[in-house]
Amino acid sequence: ATLATRARLRLIFLFVGIGEESVRARLRVRHEGADSVSEVIARGVLYNRSIATVEGAIFVASEAHRASARFEGKALLEGSGSAEILPTLEIKAPDVRQVRHAGAVARLAPEERFYLESRGLEPAEVIRVAAHGFLSAPFSCAIEIPKEFEIIHKKLETIRG
């Protein structure tokens, strides 16, 4: 995406990998105009032997004075799933407001799993509940969750312990 003066962008990219699926994404934002704002959130859950590589690139041109940009990539792993989150920044403008990036990959902690199982959830349900909460977090301030999230929900329902 290329952002002109005072343009706003909020992009949420969700992914789920099951079995031996492979997910690869390049999310690029180019700030060309002053006072432009972007927020890119990538979140995914990877099961079994699925893998993902997510590249998040932010470029701020020299004319993009007072630009603000954020990229956040996170992946939750189960089984032998693996992920790479690769955030990059290139800033040419001398006076950005705020530009930041983050990437994290983690597994469900044993104490989180224990907590949910102690509440009567089966192992497969634990994984689905944790994944659903993890993936829906970017919508925590939303008035309405997009109907496209239903596709993710249906894919989560196919997971077996």
| Position 140 pLDDT exceeds 90 | no
| Position 157 pLDDT exceeds 90 | no
Angle among Cα 62, 66, 70 to the nearest 5 degrees reads 95
Where are the strands (E) in the chain, listed by range?
2-3, 8-17, 22-31, 37-46, 51-60, 68-77, 82-91, 98-107
Quote the pTM value.
0.86
Reported confidence tier of residue 143, pLDDT bands at 50, 70, 90: low
Residues 4, 149: Cα–Cα separation, whole Å: 29
Reported confidence tier of residue 142, pLDDT bands at 50, 70, 90: low
Structural contact between residues 20 and 50, judged by C-beta atoms closer than 8 angstroms: yes
Chain segment 115-125, per-residue pLDDT in tens: 999 999 988 88
In this prediction, residues 79-83 reach a mean pLDDT of 92
